[in-house]
Amino acid sequence: MSAYPHAAATTTAAATAVPSATTTGSEAGDPCCAAPLPVLGRDVTVPLVTGGEVTYAALDYAASAPALQRVWDDVAAYAPYYGSVHRGAGYLSQLSTDLFESSRVTVAEFLDCRPGDQVVFTRSTTDSLNLLAAALPAGCEVFVFETEHHASLLPWRDARVTYLNAPRTPAQAVETLERGLADRDPYGPALVCVTGASNVTGELWPVRELAAAAHAHGARIVLDAAQLAPHHPVSVQELDVDWVAFSGHKLYAPFGSGVLAGRADWLQEADPYLAGGGASKKVARRTDGGVDVEWHTTAARHEAGSPNVIGVYSIASACKALTEAGFDSLVAREQHLIATVREGLAEVPEVRVLSLFGDEAPRVGVLSFVVEGWNSSHFAAALSAEYGIGVRDGLFCAHPLVRTLLGSDPQTQGECGAPEAAPGEKSLNAIRVSFGAGTPDEHVERFVRAVKELVRDGAQWKYRTEDGRCVPDRG
CA distance 88 to 96: 10
What DSSP string runs through 128-145?
Answer: HHHHHHHTPPTT-EEEEE
Contacts of residue 121, Cβ cutoff 8 Å, sequence gap at least 6: 104, 257, 258, 259, 299, 303, 307, 308, 311, 312, 315
Contacts of residue 75, Cβ cutoff 8 Å, sequence gap at least 6: 255, 310, 313, 314, 317
Residue 35: HSE in the Cβ half-sphere, 13 Å Cα cutoff: 24
Q: Considering only CA atoms, which of 100, 123, 119, 107 is closest in space to residue 310? A: 100
CA distance 355 to 358: 6
CA distance 162 to 145: 8
Q: Are strands 160-164 and 141-145 parallel, antiparallel or unpaired?
A: parallel
| Backbone dihedral angles phi then psi of residue 139, each to the nearest 5 degrees | 80, 10
Let me know if 397 is a catalytic residue: yes
Residue 11: HSE in the Cβ half-sphere, 13 Å Cα cutoff: 13
Catalytic pick among 32, 140, 319, 397: 397
Q: Count CB neighbours of 442 within 10 A.
A: 14
- Residues forming the active site: 397
